Amino acid sequence: MRGARFGGLDLAILAVGLAFLYGPMLLLVLYSFNASRLVTVWGGFSTRWYAALLANEPLREASLVSLRVALVSAALATLVGTLAAILLARPGRVAGRRTFTALLLAPMVLPEVIVGLSLLLLFVALGFERGIWTVTLAHATVTTAFVAVVVQARLLGIERDLEAAARDLGASPATAFLTVTLPLAAPAIGAGFLLAFTLSLDDLVVASFTAGPGSTTLPMRIYSSVRLGVTPEINAASSLLMGLVGAAVLVASLASRRRAPTT
Amino acid sequence: MNRAAAASRVATMLPWAWLLVFVAAPLVVVAKISLSESAVAQPPYRPRWSWTLDPAAWQAFADGLGLDSYRALLADDLYWRSALASLAIASAATAILVLVGYPVALAMARAPKRLRPVLLAIVILPFWTSFLIRVYAWIAILRPAGLLDAALGLFGLPPLELLNSTPAVLIGIVYAYLPFMVLPIYAVLERRDPALLEAAADLGAGTVATFRTVTLPLSRPGLASGVLLCFVPIFGEFVIPDLLGGSDTLMLGRTLWSEFFGNRDWPLASAVAIVMLLALALPLAWLRESGLRRGDARR
């Protein structure tokens, strides 16, 4: 029975793996409270970089742009992604399923530089002015696939019998869908929205291609200062962002656990 | 009833229209512009052709079919070297990811059932936090006189000064992509039947033989999706080689970026994108096939 049981070696592997995953992030948070400007010198605990962050006008502006883009693009991606997931989860043969799947998943698996470049060239060809809307549409395109994958997994897990039962009891297909399937899929749709929101908030490459003057997002701002080297202010901004996302994911997972105890 | 049918039709058409406009059309535009001539005007390209049925225009198009960008790609060994470096770095990083990710996934799958959802959440959480910030965190660690060198100094070891080198890029990639390797492998290992392991043990197989004959073959689908989920985006990675690599760490994604933003040569950047797409077509088709098969099996 050796080999089947969880042992000391497994524990060691997990400990090392998780230390590798979390160590750098914890160091970053730790050093955001460093009073010294130098990376390797610990100058005592201080929140001065957080104060400096609040006074940093371009960074604040970029945060607002990022939040607006993330909210609107996540809403769009949730709508399109959920509809795509419903199409994919339909049983039996659906015309063009292979093409549809390929197009849906392409922005998720293709390198970001290709997605960003191709969307920019589309916007230029259509004569769209580059700005906050082009970034929003581009982000919605990238994140739709993620929403669709999350929602489709949930739809496949829902007992088809439940919808059939509703139909037997006289509900129209639309009513059966709206009163049975949709509420059951709601936690996954919420998770999809949250995923799309955080992915948009995080994206540098696609935004850099599709942004115009006045639509510089937070990652673009962070990237341009990171290129100049490590700055304690960016450490503080990163720590805040990680804390925010961590809290949001925690709340969402607790909420979905309460609503869907079976998953 | 008719309204419901109309609503259902709209629900079908909307995702299709979205994907055709925002996924299919852009790739066609990239292909078109890769055949155009670069110009200094804004936008910096001069279309070689436009949509028309006039035969004279088609003749002119055929005469001037612009393979200039592709010729430039072949002529300059920068592109060959970036393509080969991308391939080498993506292969090496994927191999390291398998060696690191598989034991972690196996340990997770062997953990007590009660603990597994917690471990899963802990491995997924970094995926939710910013990719850029996670890469950025390594700059402070790897840079000369950074945290790694300071730690080595405590043990009297010489500094490594890893930042701006290919090993730094590999470390960054393995760090950033580890969840993508662990999750698919864990997903298949977690579902394996414990009775199979007991049967192998009863039949006298040791730990190694059980792993080789039962666990590894069972985990092959997860391993395949992990490899592809990592290899494809790593091949086109821009952020990690740009922030952690040196100026000599060429990768195609970075070359495309500098053609576009640095040299403002849109046709050449488009040609690089098309070459990248063709290079990735095979692994992508494989990924889609395996994804479809798994989707069908579940149905």
Tens of pLDDT, residues A9-37? 889 999 999 999 898 988 888 888 888 77
Contact map slice: A 130-149 vs B, CB within 8 A: 137, 140-141, 144
**Between A6, A117, A249, which is nearest B111 by CB?**
A6
- Amino acid B25: pLDDT: 92
Distance from CA of A79 to the nearest CA of B (A): 9
Mean pLDDT of A126-140: 92
- Within 8 A of A37 by CB-CB distance, chain B residues are none
Segment holding A182, helix H or strand E? helix A182-202
CA pair distance B218, B225, nearest whole angstrom: 13
Domain boundaries B76-298, CATH class: mainly alpha
Kindly tell me if the per-residue pLDDT of A38 is higher than 70. yes
- Amino acid A81: pLDDT: 95
Alpha-carbon B68 to chain mean position: 28
Spatial contact of B207 and A2, defined as CB atoms under 8 Å apart:
yes
Percent of chain A residues topping a pLDDT of 70: 91
Domains of chain A, earliest start first: 57-259 (1.10.3720.10)
Tens of pLDDT, residues A102-131? 899 889 888 899 999 999 999 988 888 889
- Amino acid A169: pLDDT: 85
Positions of chain B with pLDDT lower than 50, given as ranges: 40-41, 49, 295-299
Spatial contact of A195 and A245, defined as CB atoms under 8 Å apart:
no
Which amino acid would we find at residue A74?
A
CA proximity to B72, closest of B248, B227, B204, B255: B255
- Amino acid A129: pLDDT: 87
Tens of pLDDT, residues A174-209? 788 788 888 888 888 998 998 899 889 889 999 999
DSSP of B203-231, one letter per residue? TT--HHHHIIIIIHHHTHHHHHHHHHHHH
CA proximity to A144, closest of B225, B293, B18: B18
Give the residue, B63 or A56, on which the prediction is more confident.
A56
CA proximity to B28, closest of B289, B297, B277, B291: B277
Q: What would the two tokens of residue A3 be?
A: 């080999």
CA pair distance B117, B219, nearest whole angstrom: 19
Q: What would the two tokens of residue B250 be?
A: 């060429």
The reply to whether residue B175 touches residue A21, judged by beta carbons under 8 angstroms, is yes
Placement of tokens 């929602």 in the chain = A151
CB atoms within 10 A of CB A237: 26
Contact map slice: A 59-78 vs B, CB within 8 A: none
| Largest Cα span, chain A | 72
Tens of pLDDT, residues B191-205? 887 788 888 888 887
**Between B26, B145, B276, which is nearest A111 by CB?**
B276
In 3-state terms, what secondary structure has residue A35?
Answer: coil
CB-based burial of residue B274 (10 Å sphere; 0-12 exposed, 13-18 middle, 19+ buried)?
buried
CA pair distance B255, B251, nearest whole angstrom: 6
Kindly tell me if the per-residue pLDDT of A258 is higher than 70. no
Kindly tell me if the per-residue pLDDT of A261 is higher than 50. no
CA pair distance A232, A234, nearest whole angstrom: 5
Handedness of CA A34, A37, A40, A42 (dihedral sign): negative
Kindly tell me if the per-residue pLDDT of A55 is higher than 60. yes
Kindly tell me if the per-residue pLDDT of A254 is higher than 70. yes
For chain B, say whether A232 makes contact (Cβ under 8 Å).
Answer: no
Residue contacts between A and B (CB atoms, under 8 Å): 249
**Between B11, B133, B299, which is nearest A242 by CB?**
B133
**Between B146, B194, B211, which is nearest A40 by CB?**
B146
CB-based burial, A71-80: b 16+ in 10 Å, e otherwise: bbbbebbbbb
CB atoms within 10 A of CB A93: 6
Distance from CA of B156 to the nearest CA of A (A): 17
The reply to whether residue B256 touches residue A113, judged by beta carbons under 8 angstroms, is yes
- Within 8 A of B24 by CB-CB distance, chain A residues are 103
Kindly tell me if the per-residue pLDDT of A144 is higher than 80. yes
Query: Helix, strand, coil % (nearest 5) of chain B?
Result: 75, 0, 25
Spatial contact of B26 and B277, defined as CB atoms under 8 Å apart:
no
Residue ranges covered by each domain of chain B: 76-298
